[in-house]
Amino acid sequence: MSDQKVLSPPTRPGVRRLSSISASFEDMALGPSVIVPPEHMGKPSDAHETAAALEMAKHRLAEKKPTDGESTPPTPPTPPQTNFTDQYAFAFDIDGVLIRGGKPIPEAVEAIKVLNGQNEYGVKVPYIFVTNGGGKTEQERCLDLSRQLEMEISPGQFICGHTPMREMAQKYGTVLVVGGEGDKCRTVAEGYGFKDVVTPGDIIKDNRYTTPFRKLTDDETNHSRARNFGETEIEAIFVFADSRDWAGDQQIILDVLMSKKGRLGTRSETFDEGPPIFFSHNDIVWSTSHQLTRLGMGALRTSLEAMYKAMTGKNLISTAFGKPQIGTFQFATRLLQQWRKDTHGINAPPRTVYFVGDTPESDIRGTNEFNASEFSENQWYSILVRTGVFQEGTKPAFQPNATVDNVLEAVKYGIQREVDKNTRTRVQQLSQQAEAIAE
């Protein structure tokens, strides 16, 4: 590996610094990494400590076994000589909050700088990214965001909608993976450990009459794998990312759902023999560079449910991950708890997590419902921004704890709220001390 890709020695032991220009997925697969803009390769930026610490925390979580008990934590490393808080953290949606149409929202870069210590209090605050966007690995999303924001970021800071699907890789054999560009979703699924992954392109290559109005391009034909689907049983369907061909993908999904044990070319008489279907998220709409919101995976799910009902007379049973599903917030809590344990020796999550989102139906609903659930070990505080799906003049279906103009205002709001809380606590303590002395 060239010196241009890795700065040696790294600032945090075990974490490699890779240039956002030259880093490859092969480089990132070799171990814990932080993606670094070229101008910061010579000297770590203010963002390095957060990115590196969360990268190590996520790797430690992945190494844990479900049966692992809690033991006395090892002596944590000496914290950097900065005012790095462990009391609260931020979690961000990406599209509509930090990025819109592939470009940074104007206040996004400044907001991250504030969290990295460039604020009037000199405090550094940990932060993660929780996105329903699919079809890319956490490593690929990390590369994209590092280049877009021109900041140090690690894959450990990312939680994608399809991340929980990783845990199902050992449960199913042959699976149909739908959505995304080209063959990327197959790559993601195989990276998660799925051993036999097929795509709609494979099915069309086997029988070109499957989708009457869709013909594979030469590139799609080359990337599609030949097999006999008359002898293949598809055990589960995973929609990893937004469909690029609704008509063709829905036709194939319905064929599999209504089949006998996932065998194409068959049709169940009872419509209860097909495999289960899973969606990486359930967002009906999402924010793009278009002035109006665009249809998302949740719309595809709704369409499939309607067509399945019309064709079978039965309700389609399906499962969605991502926001607002509780599992996504539970994983985020575990990640932040591991970070706090590693850096401060405290085996508990930060007392407050500020979730900043633009979609009331997923971001705000998920945050509020998780906070009110029995599974929440701390406070999750929802902040809605006006730079994405939600627009001023409309009433959000799910009410946030706070509504602000943009992500920079959200960050300033959260930090000031924490400062005010600490001030009130300190005043109460001084008052109690004064009363005790008087007595």
pLDDT in tens, 188-240: 899 888 999 999 999 999 999 999 999 999 999 999 999 999 999 999 999 99
Contacts of 435 (CB under 8 A, 6+ apart): none
Question: Prior bond to 80 cis, omega within 30?
Answer: no
CB 55 within 8 A of CB 157: yes
Helix (H), strand (E) at residue 99 = strand 99-100
Nearest to 384 by CA among 371, 372, 399, 373: 399
Which tokens is 113 given? 């700088």
Sheet with strand 196-198: strands edge to edge: 196-198, 174-178, 236-239, 277-279, 318-320
Strand partners, 104: 99
User: b/e for 341-359, b at 16 or more Cβ within 10 A?
Assistant: bbbbeeeebbebbbbbbbb
Identify whether the C-beta of residue 77 lies closer than 8 Å to the C-beta of residue 343: yes
- In 225-373, the DSSP E strands lie at 236-239, 277-279, 285-286, 294-295, 318-320, 352-357
Tell me the residue length of the chain.
Answer: 439
User: Tens of pLDDT along the chain (439 residues)?
Assistant: 333 333 333 455 578 999 999 988 778 878 899 999 998 888 888 999 999 999 999 888 877 654 444 444 444 445 445 478 999 999 999 999 999 988 999 999 999 999 999 999 999 999 999 988 766 778 888 999 999 999 999 999 999 888 778 778 889 999 999 998 888 899 889 988 899 999 999 999 999 999 999 999 999 999 999 999 999 999 999 999 899 999 999 999 999 999 999 999 999 999 999 999 999 888 888 777 788 888 988 899 999 999 999 999 999 999 888 777 888 899 899 999 999 999 999 999 999 999 999 999 889 999 999 999 999 999 999 999 999 988 777 888 899 999 999 999 999 999 999 999 999 988 887 777 777 777 6
Helices (DSSP H) in 163-319: which residue ranges? Answer: 184-191, 200-206, 218-223, 246-257, 297-312
For residue 34, give every residue at least 6 positions away whose Cβ sits within 8 Å of its Cβ, in sequence order, or none: 15, 16, 17, 18, 48, 51, 52, 55, 152, 153, 154
Question: What are the tokens at 292?
Answer: 């109006």
| 343 three-state secondary structure | helix
Q: State pTM to two decimals.
A: 0.76
Question: Rounded CA gap, 306 and 300, in Å?
Answer: 10
Long-range interactions of 207-211: CB distance < 8 A, separation 24+: 207/264, 210/251, 210/252, 210/255, 210/264, 211/245, 211/247, 211/248, 211/251, 211/252
DSSP string of 405-424, one letter each residue: SSHHHHHHHHHHHHHHHHHH
pLDDT, one tens digit per residue, over 114-127 is: 999 999 999 999 99
What does residue 67 show for φ and ψ, rounded to 5 degrees?
A: -90, -5
Amino acid identity of 303? S
Structure tokens at 39: 């101008």
Strands 123-124, 33-36: pairing kind: unpaired
Q: What is the DSSP letter of 244?
A: S
Euclidean distance between CA atoms 154 and 167, whole angstroms: 22
Contact status, residue 104 vs residue 98, Cβ threshold 8 Å: yes
Residue pair 360/396 in contact by the 8 Å Cβ criterion? yes
What is the phi/psi pair of residue 295, to 5°?
A: -65, 140
CB hemisphere CA count around 389 (13 angstroms)? 23
The answer to whether the beta carbons of residues 6 and 22 sit under 8 Å apart is no
418 dihedral zone (left: phi>0; alpha: psi -120 to 50; beta)? alpha
